[in-house]
Amino acid sequence: MNQTNNTRDRLLKSARDLFYARSYGHVGVKEICDMAGVQKGSFYHFFPSKQELTLALLDEYFAELKANVFARAFRPELTPLQRLSAWLDNIYEFQKLTQEQTGKTLGCPYGNIASELSTLDETIRQRIDSLFIKLTDDVRNTLEEAVQKGDIPPCDTAATATAMLAYLEGVMLLAKTRNDPEIVRRIGDAVLHIRIGTTSA
């Protein structure tokens, strides 16, 4: 087994960047190969189709996201609410970074693909759905810890985690539509106060 297949990785990275900048449908296999400095035959040596490349891309970069970004935001020495706040900060920094690098605010890489392909490719839809569920699991655990510590009143932590993800996806979509990452700063904080199923309400 080869430890890191260079060509395969370059294809994945090129596809990820191109899809993020311009969407799945508007990026061709040829262009992905050109950016990776590879011929088309090599693409189909490593991936049976554009769809399969996309599935691999989603899995591998989500694992990287969890290991690097998420592990830092959700680290246990922070209080639960600090973790959610760090998550929000990460989103703002990422949107601002892409704005500086590309001149455009590109939104959420997963939300973009979910929006474009959920109705077109059932396999990809299910994959992104399961990634979103994994994400909300981390958020839900954080919320449960917050409830146990008394930081927030009891609530439906699973539904609240889903609602928080929904809000941040919507915020990123609006930031993309406005082409302005500052939207995240202006309205992002409200994610901390979203609650579903509190006994009081």
Partner DNA sequence: CTTGCATTTGACCGACCAGTCAATTAGTAT
Partner DNA sequence: ATACTAATTGACTGGTCGGTCAAATGCAAG
Instruction: State the residues that interact with its own copies by CB under 8 A.
Output: 21-26, 104, 106-107, 111-112, 114-116, 118-120, 125, 128-129, 132, 159, 162-163, 165-171, 173-174, 176-179, 183, 186-187, 189-190, 193-196, 201
Binding at 30: pick from its own copies, DNA, none (beta carbon under 5-8 Å per type)? DNA
The smaller minimum CB distance to DNA, of residues 36 and 171, is found at 36
22 is an interface residue for DNA by CB under 7 A? no
**For residues 80 and 188, which CB has a smaller minimum distance to its own copies in the complex?**
188
Contact flag: residue 141 with DNA (CB under 7 A) = no
Question: Which residue of 13, 23, 31, 60 would you call a contact of DNA, by CB under 7 A?
Answer: 31
Tell me if residue 41 falls in helix, strand or coil. Answer: helix
Using CA atoms, how far apart are residues 63 and 68, in angstroms rounded to an integer? 9
7 binds, among its own copies, DNA, none (CB under 5 to 8 A by kind): DNA
Smallest Cα–Cα separation from 56: which of 46, 42, 45? Answer: 46
Q: Tell me the C-alpha distance between 125 and 54, whole Å.
A: 11
Please tell me whether residue 148 binds DNA under the rule CB under 7 A: no
Q: Residue 180 carries which side chain, given as an amino acid letter?
A: D
Q: Decide which of DNA, its own copies, none touches 84; Cβ closer than 5 to 8 Å per partner kind.
A: none
Least CB distance from residue 44 to DNA, whole Å?
Answer: 4
Q: Considering the rule CB under 7 A, would residue 48 count as an interface residue with DNA?
A: yes
165, 157 Cβ separation under 8 angstroms? no
Question: What is the 8-class DSSP label of residue 199?
Answer: S
Query: Is 51 buried (19+), middle (13-18) or exposed (0-12) by CB count in 10 A?
Result: middle
> Which span (15-23, 25-33, 129-137, 190-198) binds DNA, by CB under 7 A?
25-33
Nearer to its own copies, 65 or 159 (CB): 159
Report residue 26 as tokens: 């508007």
The H-or-E segment that residue 58 falls in is: helix 50-65
| Rounded Cα gap, residues 162 and 39, in angstroms | 42
